[in-house]
Amino acid sequence: MITAVYPGSFDPITNGHIDVARRAANIFGKVIIGVFDKPMKIVTFSLEERVNMAREAVKDIPNIEVKPFYGLAVDFAKEVNANVMVRGLRVSADFEREFDMAMMNRKLSPQLELVCFLAKPEYQFLRSSLLKEVARVGGNIEGMVPEHVARALKEKNGNSLI
């Protein structure tokens, strides 16, 4: 059985993230969504909140697990015996960033393979930071995140989202 890790901050998890995870679950025997504890950006949700939102979002997919991780993604992959790292690509700028990261990961962990999923057209514009900006000013984020995530954003921002 091939195990894949899908690391990220998931602040919050979006329908685009879920789509990539679901597609990976159709290919690999097990997918572990790794929620990074301390991303290099300011997060809206705590690690526990991000893990819980991700677990709720993929609870209907039996071969996906969600776990927090600390440190390097390649070390997390080794810890969970993953053979593959999954990443999503939305636009060409993602490719450049992911390429650099992939080369570093290859140097750190040569046995770990990278598989990238191209975002479906309806998710190509969707990034968590933009989504949070829209939510912060009360914009409608319906269809961009699961309902429980929209509610969590509403609570954080104190406004009506759906």
SS3 string, 34-97, reads: EEECCCCCCCCCCHHHHHHHHHHHCCCCCCEEEEEECCCHHHHHHHCCCCEEEEEECCHHHHHH
Q: How far is CA 111 from CA 81, 83, 96, 146, in A?
A: 11, 7, 22, 35
Domain membership of residue 85 as a residue range? 3-124
User: Within a domain: residue 36?
Assistant: yes
Looking at 22, 23, 67, 90, which residue is catalytic?
90
CA 30 to chain centre: 16
User: Within a domain: residue 161?
Assistant: no
User: Within a domain: residue 56?
Assistant: yes
The number of CA neighbours under 13 Å toward the Cβ of 2 is: 14
- Which pLDDT value is given to residue 39? 80
Is residue 90 annotated as a catalytic residue, yes or no? yes
- Which pLDDT value is given to residue 53? 98
- Which pLDDT value is given to residue 159? 59
- Which pLDDT value is given to residue 162? 43
User: Within a domain: residue 100?
Assistant: yes
- Which pLDDT value is given to residue 154? 87
Looking at 41, 46, 59, 129, which residue is catalytic?
41
CATH code of the domain containing 60: 3.40.50.620
Nearest to 53 by CA among 24, 25, 23, 11: 11
User: Within a domain: residue 141?
Assistant: no
The number of CA neighbours under 13 Å toward the Cβ of 154 is: 14
Is residue 148 annotated as a catalytic residue, yes or no? no
User: Within a domain: residue 33?
Assistant: yes
Q: How many domains does the chain have?
A: 1
Q: Classify residue 106 by its DSSP letter.
A: H
User: Within a domain: residue 82?
Assistant: yes
Q: Residue 134 contacts by C-beta under 8 Å, 6 or more apart in sequence?
A: 140, 141
- Which pLDDT value is given to residue 90? 87
Looking at 9, 50, 87, 128, which residue is catalytic?
128
User: Within a domain: residue 114?
Assistant: yes
Amino acid at 132: K
- Which pLDDT value is given to residue 99? 86
pLDDT tens series, the chain, 162 aa:
999 999 999 999 999 999 999 999 999 999 999 999 988 888 999 999 999 999 999 999 999 999 999 999 999 999 999 999 999 988 777 787 888 888 898 999 999 999 999 999 999 888 888 889 998 888 899 899 999 999 999 888 875 444
- Which pLDDT value is given to residue 157? 81
